[in-house]
Amino acid sequence: MALSSSRSWRYNVFLSFHGPDVRSSYLSHLRKQFERNGIITFNDQEIERSQTIKPELTRAIQESRISIVVLSQNYASSSWCLNELVEILDCKETGQIVMTVFYKVNPSDVRKQIGGFGKAFKETCQGKTETEIQSWTKALTYVANIEGEHSLNWVNEADLIEKIATDVSNKLNASLSRDFDGMVGLEDHLGKMKSLLHLENNEAMIIGISGPAGIGKTTIARALFNQLSFSFPLRYFMGNVKGSYRRTDCDEHGLKLRLQEQLLRKILNQKRMKISHLNVIYERLGNQKVLIILDDVDHLEQIIVTTEDQELLQQHGINNVYNVAFPSSEEALGIFCLSAFKQISPPDGFGRLAERAAELCSNLPLGLCVVGSSLLDKSLICISTNGDIQMHKLLQQVGTQEIKRQEPWKRHILIDPYEICDVLQSNTGTGTVMGISFDITEISKVSISKKTFRRMCNLRFLRVYKRRIDKNVEVHIPEEMEFPHGLRLLHWKAYPSKCLPPTFHPEYLVELNMQHSQLEKLWEGTQPLTNLTKMNLSGSGNLKEVPDLSNAKNLELLDLSGCMSLVEIPSSISNLHKLQELMMMFCINLEVIPEGLNLMSIETVNMVGCLRLRTFTPSFMSFNLRHIFLTRCEKLQSLPDIVSTELITLNVNGCQSLQRVPNCFHSTKVALNFTKCFNLSQEARKSIIQRSFLDGRKYVGTRSSNKWARLPGWACLPGNEVPAEFNHRAKGNSLTILPESSDKPLYASAIFKICIVISPKNKVGSNLPKIICLRMNKFVCSCPCYDFQVYNKISMSSVFAHLSTEHLFVFLYVLDQKDHSLGVLSEILFKIESGPNFEITECGAQMWTEETPALETIECGAEETENVDEGKSRRSFWSCLLLCCFIVCCIVIFAWGKKTIDF
């Protein structure tokens, strides 16, 4: 049994049969049924038959989970079949399952080797050794005693075949699993349980498994059932008896009937069995070999297998009880490590930590598994994608409790608001304090002393914040207040003064966060800001000027959103070579952006709601730029050319004065939102519609372009008619594309640029706006290929949610890799579906194939073309000059050589 549980089988079934009796009739139908049921059968048709069994046939028998012996009238006439049978029964001893089918032959004839079967057997035995005859006789006698199917008992042979296939499937499904392999201490438990069962006897027994919750009773019972079930023709594991059978809608007698019905249905495989009295289970199973395990029992009238109630076992006279003991310290550590580290012992450096965790779980197996699994691949401290250090809540609680246990004058971190308030007002801080996190929500008034921070010479971070924005708190600070020089983080929400103190030294400052402050300026002159990486002044409505940032060469984030008094950005930001994000949302008075900025690392520029901004400087156009947000910049008139090939988002929604846009948009990934841009020039509309996603052409015909399937590139702009360049057009939401001619076939590898007209219905609905493109090939079922509700739900919601007029929506359609194998098609049907609030009035498509002109042949702006032509002219001039020099040199060398020979 142990061997079969650890083996991997090559075949599900090996069939032993006499070919002339069954191959062309019964056996062929049985093989077909096995094939339909997904049962893998060894095929012996390519093996040449002989008197001795072939080695490959022996291997096939040994590598099959089940052997089915089809005993027919002439089965014993073949020494080949008899040798197969001997090998099959040898393999049965190592855990293989053997099934029998008596096909038009009496089992007693096989058992006693009489009748026509016996006559064939005697003829085969002529000239054989006594050893062979004895082994064959023993094998036939043994196999005839295995309970099997008799074809003579079946009126319909098809029903017999279906029954055999079902039995085989059930046996395969019930094969030994490896779910319990490697469980610490389990083998010892199973050995003790088997000793209580006395498997060598045929007596009926009831065994109890007792122990506290989480000790492993159910695990032991399931593992035992997994190992022993093959020894019992009838078996059933009923789990959670306590939870499944409660006395809520029936009395005690009815509860017993329900339990017996469930047992008999599962054991006898009869789904609609009904019983009327309690003796039915004895009548049906009284003479059978049955294994029943009931898990988690608590009612007295029920059969008990696993329970926490020791008295329940005694009341029912069950003396064979296995009390599950707690694992040893070593076993508990192994159980925890298997769940937490997927290995039996802790990794280097985690030994003491793992031992402590096992102790906290009191060595309870369930607790060890739950805690270990929850810690798998987890870290109590991690760094987020934006560089912030994140801490597990449990670790935060432990740290808070540890701080509170310290004496007040010894604390490195101050977090209690009343204690902090007292320290700041009475000037009792010490050099021990390294950090202050001050939540002023519960404080009504606080006055800070001028020299309150002087004694806190080691203060590294100062955080003052409110959890509730609507709570008014009076904070009074003197103009000459001295901040500590070594401060790394200053986070003061709603800072009450107009300027930071003149003695403020930001030399070591890494992050400055002064959201919603009353600041009008930060400081005078230039400060050493070489360590500063983040500056957030958002919501400071009175801020009139940004300080000189020429020394902030490591600044990565500058957030000036909501600084409504700000009119211009200082030219000193041109030195911010590492700046990645510039946030200036709702700077409603911002008019000027300096020219000549050299922001080579900039990735995101957000100027949403800058109502007076007229131009967007080309200085922002770095090669790394990924996101540009200019929504509701109502006076913005033009956009510069975009050099970045990494651009993902360009959102100029609501820029009603916008007229000019970049000549080309090369990225297939870019989302171009030009909704409500009603003053776009014809040239701008042409750039958006015709010259967007041009790089998608180079993927035409690529059969391994899986990463380019369902590309998210799209563009949206005002319009009520599909442009003429989309040569396939149709009214409504569906479009059929046919081959243009016999010499221009329709390839499945083509890329389509699709344009649709979206008309809002002016109806309020709860569903998110969405666009779904369904593509159907002729004679091929449809499959959803483009679904913005899945891939870009937020963007689509913001794009379509407030449309009041018709707009054009343009997007790329790229096939999945599997669709390339379709080859040439006779027809493609596109059907566009929208949400309930929108209607598709027209759609069109432009097809790109391998024959479509490449990107380089498409004009992408006059200036770009002129530059290319000028470059080609220069290259041609220098090529001709070099060629002429080469020819002259050859002539001179030839002439000099000729003179030398003449001389």
Question: Which of 35, 56, 84, 331 is flagged as catalytic?
Answer: 84
What does the alpha-carbon distance between residue 756 and residue 758 come to, in Å, rounded to a whole number?
A: 6
Digit-coded pLDDT (tens) for 6-55: 466 888 899 999 888 888 788 888 988 888 888 888 877 655 555 455 67
**Three-state secondary structure along 745-810?**
CEECCCEEEEEEEEEECCCCCCCCCCEEEEEEECCCCCEEEEEHHHHCHHHHHHHHCCCCCCEEEE
CATH 3.40.50.10140 fits 2-173, yes or no: yes
pLDDT higher than threshold 90 for residue 543: yes
Of 582, 547, 542, residue with least CA distance to 564: 542
Would residue 596 be called left, alpha or beta, if left means φ above 0 and alpha means ψ between -120 and 50 degrees? left
pLDDT higher than threshold 90 for residue 358: no
830 and 735 in contact (C-beta within 8 Å)? yes
pLDDT at res. 754: 86
The hierarchical CATH code for the domain 706-860 is 2.60.120
Average pLDDT over residues 175-193: 70
What does the alpha-carbon distance between residue 889 and residue 893 come to, in Å, rounded to a whole number?
A: 6
Token pair recorded at residue 28: 């062929």
Confidence of residue 411 (pLDDT cuts 50, 70, 90): confident
pLDDT at res. 822: 53
pLDDT higher than threshold 70 for residue 353: yes
Single-letter amino acid, residue 237? F
What does the alpha-carbon distance between residue 74 and residue 124 come to, in Å, rounded to a whole number?
A: 10
Question: What CA–CA distances, in Å, run from 50 to 84, 256, 683?
Answer: 12, 60, 85
What number of other Cβ atoms are within 10 A of residue 627's Cβ? 17
SS3 at position 801 = coil
pLDDT at res. 703: 44
What does the alpha-carbon distance between residue 476 and residue 497 come to, in Å, rounded to a whole number?
A: 9
pLDDT higher than threshold 50 for residue 862: no
Question: What CA–CA distances, in Å, run from 671 to 344, 667, 693, 717?
Answer: 51, 9, 10, 12
Stated as kind and residue range, the H or E segment containing 878 is helix 862-902
Task: Look over the chain and give the mean of its residue pLDDT values, rounded to a whole number.
Answer: 76
pLDDT higher than threshold 90 for residue 563: yes
619 and 642 in contact (C-beta within 8 Å)? no
Pick 902 or 678 by higher pLDDT.
678
Domain ranges, ordered by start, for the chain: 2-173, 186-323, 329-378, 411-487, 706-860
Average pLDDT over residues 828-855: 75
pLDDT higher than threshold 80 for residue 413: yes
pLDDT at res. 788: 36
pLDDT higher than threshold 50 for residue 93: yes
What does the alpha-carbon distance between residue 233 and residue 222 come to, in Å, rounded to a whole number?
A: 17
pLDDT higher than threshold 50 for residue 298: yes
Stated as kind and residue range, the H or E segment containing 123 is helix 115-125
Calculate the dihedral angle through the C-alpha atoms of 238, 240, 243, 244, rounding to the nearest 10 degrees. -20
pLDDT higher than threshold 80 for residue 2: no
Most confident of 132-141, 234-243, 327-336, 569-578: 132-141
pLDDT at res. 127: 87
Q: DSSP letters of 198-247? A: TTTS------EEE--TTSSHHHHHHHHHHHHGGG-SEEEEE--HHHH--T
Stated as kind and residue range, the H or E segment containing 165 is helix 157-173
Digit-coded pLDDT (tens) for 107-148: 999 999 999 999 999 999 998 899 999 999 999 999 999 888
pLDDT higher than threshold 50 for residue 706: no
pLDDT higher than threshold 50 for residue 338: yes
SS3 at position 747 = strand
Most confident of 353-357, 860-864, 896-900: 353-357
Calculate the dihedral angle through the C-alpha atoms of 297, 303, 306, 308, rounding to the nearest 10 degrees. 50
**Phi, psi for residue 783 in degrees, rounded to 5:** -145, 135
Of 339-348, 363-372, 762-771, the least confident? 762-771
Q: How many residues are present in the chain?
A: 903
Based on C-alpha coordinates, what's the Rg of the chain? 42
**Phi, psi for residue 349 in degrees, rounded to 5:** 90, -10
Most confident of 175-184, 420-429, 532-541, 686-695: 532-541
The hierarchical CATH code for the domain 186-323 is 3.40.50.300
Digit-coded pLDDT (tens) for 711-720: 557 888 999 9
pLDDT at res. 513: 94
Distance of CA 244 to the CA centre of its chain: 34
Single-letter amino acid, residue 275? I
What does the alpha-carbon distance between residue 358 and residue 93 come to, in Å, rounded to a whole number?
A: 42
Q: Where are the alpha helices (DSSP H) in 767-861?
A: 788-791, 793-800
What does the alpha-carbon distance between residue 834 and residue 850 come to, in Å, rounded to a whole number?
A: 31
Confidence of residue 867 (pLDDT cuts 50, 70, 90): very low
Pairing of strands 771-777, 828-834: antiparallel
Confidence of residue 460 (pLDDT cuts 50, 70, 90): very high
pLDDT higher than threshold 80 for residue 66: yes
Digit-coded pLDDT (tens) for 516-525: 999 999 988 8
Give the position of tokens 């030399």: 507
Identical fold, 2-173 and 186-323:
yes
What number of other Cβ atoms are within 10 A of residue 156's Cβ? 8
What does the alpha-carbon distance between residue 413 and residue 415 come to, in Å, rounded to a whole number?
A: 6
Of 407, 431, 459, residue with least CA distance to 419: 407
Single-letter amino acid, residue 662? P
pLDDT at res. 707: 41
Q: Is 833 labeled as catalytic in the residue annotation?
A: no
SS3 at position 35 = helix
* Angle, vertex CA 814, rays to CA 811 and CA 819, nearest 5: 150
What number of other Cβ atoms are within 10 A of residue 771's Cβ? 25
Could you give the count of Cα atoms lying within 13 Å of 26 in the half-sphere of its Cβ?
21
Pick 682 or 198 by higher pLDDT.
682
